[in-house]
Amino acid sequence: MAIALRLLLGLAFFLCAAAPAPAQIHDGKVLVKASLLADTSSIVPGQSFQVGLLLEMAPSWHTYWQYSGDSGLPTSIDWELPPGFTAGPIEWPLPEAKIEPGDIQVYSYGGRVLLLTTITPPANLLKNATLRAKATWLVCEEICVPGDAKLELTLPVAQSAVPANAAVFEEFRAQLPSKQAPPFDLTWTRSGSALTLQVKGAGSPLQLFPLPADNQLIGHPQFEPPDKLIIKASGSFAGVLSVGEGSARRGWMISDAALTNTTDTISLWTALFYGFLGGLILNLMPCVLPVISLKIFGFMKQAGDSRQSILFHGLAFVVGIFVWFLGLAAVIVGLKSGGAEVTWAFQFQNPWFNVVIGSVVFVFALNLAGVFEFILPGRASNALESAGSSSGLAGSFFQGVFATLLATPCTAPFLGSALGFAFSQSFVVIFSMFAAVASGMALPYLLLSASPGWLKFLPRPGAWMERLKQFMAFPLLATLVWIISILGGQRGVDGITWFCAFLICLGFACWLLGSFCGPLVSPAKRFTTLLLIVATLVGGGWYFLGKKFASVGSESVDRIAWVPFSEARVASEIASGRSVFIDFTADWCITCKFNERTAIETPATRAFLRENNIVPVKADWTNANSEITAALKSFGRVGVPLYVLYPASNPTSPVVLPEILTESELLKSLEQAKAGLKR
């Protein structure tokens, strides 16, 4: 009897380990069967265990991974636990990557999947516990149908745990991505927004499943045999790498953190080198080169025959240069100290940043080319010159500070570009960049102070300096082309067109400044020119940027003017004698997106709707909407897409179009309703 009683109790515990399996039924077909399973037949107080949501899908139907891709929605679980219990996050087995029609990438589960959650009971648990959960999911084939189930699982309390459902838990635990470093080599490289991951010694096939941050732009992973994966990603990348197939497939959580410590560092060092090189080139500008010899001879005159004293004067002068540049860096840090930090190169994801920095680069390229000049006011120049005329090391220091400022007409283009760059960087990068520029500019003074005899190797001033200055405009213009190429990817050809139109206005304003605002121009003529410059910039900025550029990519004029769905609006349009086309859709619906791209938002369909005054109504079911749900049910549907046409000629007999649309099929249906159209 005791043995029989134990067997009966064990059977009862086993039956309690799996909750009833509610089924999602559509058109008499079970799409998803949901149930809760535990990996134990009893709860040990204080000892964690796992519960899995088992979803079993009908053939050819699928639910979604934690990142669903271009469409779809991930499954969610809302737990209702007894007091003292806690539930961890869902642990997601490896998904399958699918490309749906219309180049829509999704990450999904077919067949069946077990989504695991770790449950921790309180240490003082004394009685049986019932775990309740509400699971919601989206299941798709040609249509997408939301589903949900309220599930519960009751487990007894025991002093030791007895494993349960071992086979299914073992199957799906093996598919959980490991958080340990993978047992093979990963090498990340970045070129612009393109990330390349090279996997050495892992085998194949390789798959990459991204886990983007909120609002992060992410592309479709591409496999490049035999061992490379390529993906476009804004900012840092995190995801899952899987190797192998079938039951042998394994996964690892990965990120490009190594890239942050290597490739980005290389990029920073490269930028610092260019900053140093830019500072060195500044010494060849017409405003700077003639000063070098004069300053070194001045140090020699002050120091007499003492080589050590000459060097000390040169060092003081160099310190003055560094103080000026690092002072600029401190000003920038102070200005942006209240704002949020962004990462290296992340700012180029913002098209408005690219517009601003592109405009700055263009203006300074025109300056180098000689279209206009930066001129420091005469009074300021005289005051600064006299302030640095004192003798001694302090005088040499202030000469270094003021000589850099007095070279503004030549250094402004370089400093302006550096300022535009620096406003988008971290504090460390800002100081490092300006220190690199200062190092380049200070190097000749330092070397010649150490060895004044090298003065004979300095190139003689001449017309070549002006030619060099003009030549330096072309690298800036090349930078502008690169910025415009980024804008093209963000805002397309229209965005490039309107930005270039604004640059024409900007160029015209610079030409006016250089041609009619010189020191010999009368005050009246200068004032009139400045008014024209302001009018050009304000007018061009308002029209080409504020009106045209700002609208590109946000709301195209050549798109269907959808009317939001409501029963009252549809009834009103029908009563007025118009035909109504209703698109029941959702952002997570793959088929909806495919139909949109290939049949609905096409030039022919847009033209037909517009010319025949058909009212396009969009019933957006991305978020729950009881009115849309009721409308779907009235047509015998529980999911989207659904396309309904109310012909003006026979509004009481709406036409339900196929779930997979073609442009010709849609136009044919609209044509059949044309006879009843009227304004």
More confident residue, 313 or 341: 313
Check: CB of residue 459 under 8 Å from CB of residue 289: yes
Contacting residues for 7 by C-beta, under 8 A, at least 6 apart: none
Interval 432-484: pLDDT, tens: 888 888 888 888 878 877 776 665 555 666 676 677 678 777 877 877 887 78
401-410 pLDDT per residue, tens: 666 665 555 5
Can you give the pLDDT at residue 340? 41
Mean pLDDT of 534-550: 88
Return d(Cα 243, Cα 296) in angstroms, integer. Answer: 66
User: What pTM did the predictor assign?
Assistant: 0.55
Question: In the predicted model, what is the mean pLDDT of residues 394-423?
Answer: 61
If DSSP codes are grouped into helix, strand and coil, which group holds residue 53?
strand
d(CA 646, CA 630): 17
Nearest alpha carbon to residue 53 among 100, 118, 125, 9: 118
- Helices (H), strands (E): how many in the chain? 20, 23
Confidence of residue 37 (pLDDT cuts 50, 70, 90): very high
3-state secondary structure of 640: strand
DSSP state of 283: T
> What CA–CA distance (Å, rounded) separates 499 from 487?
9
Residue 203, sorted as left (phi over 0), alpha (psi -120 to 50) or beta, turns out to be left
Q: What pLDDT was estimated at residue 600?
A: 93
Q: Is 279 exposed, middle or buried (0-12, 13-18, 19+ CB in 10 A)?
A: buried
Whole-number Å distance between alpha carbons of 673 and 667: 10
SS3 at position 168: helix
Start-end of H helices in 238-306? 257-261, 263-282, 289-303
Q: Which residues are bridge partners to 243 per DSSP?
A: 206, 250
pLDDT tens per residue, range 273-331: 877 887 777 776 665 655 555 565 565 555 555 667 777 877 888 888 888 888 878 87
Shortest CA distance to 542 belongs to which of 502, 489, 509? Answer: 502
Least Cα distance to 19 among 42, 41, 45, 38 occurs for 38
What torsion do the CA atoms of 627, 630, 635, 640 make, to the nearest 10 degrees? 70
Pairing of strands 250-255, 238-243: antiparallel
Question: What's the pLDDT at 268?
Answer: 65
- 74-94 pLDDT, tens per residue? 999 999 999 999 999 999 999
Asked if 648 and 640 count as a contact pair (C-beta separation under 8 A), the reply is no
Q: Which of 564, 565, 561 is nearest to 631 (CA)?
A: 565
Neighbours of 273 (CB within 10 A): 12
Greater confidence (208 vs 275) lies with: 208
What domains does the chain contain, in order, with CATH numbers? Answer: 2-173 (2.60.40.1250), 185-261 (2.60.40), 263-550 (no CATH), 563-676 (3.40.30.10)
Mean of pLDDT over the chain:
80
First and final CA of the chain: distance in angstroms? 86
Lowest mean pLDDT among 390-394, 543-547, 549-553: 390-394
Q: Give the confidence band of 48 by pLDDT, cuts at 50, 70, 90.
A: very high
List the structure tokens of 421.
């760059």
> Side chain identity at 634, as an amino acid letter?
S
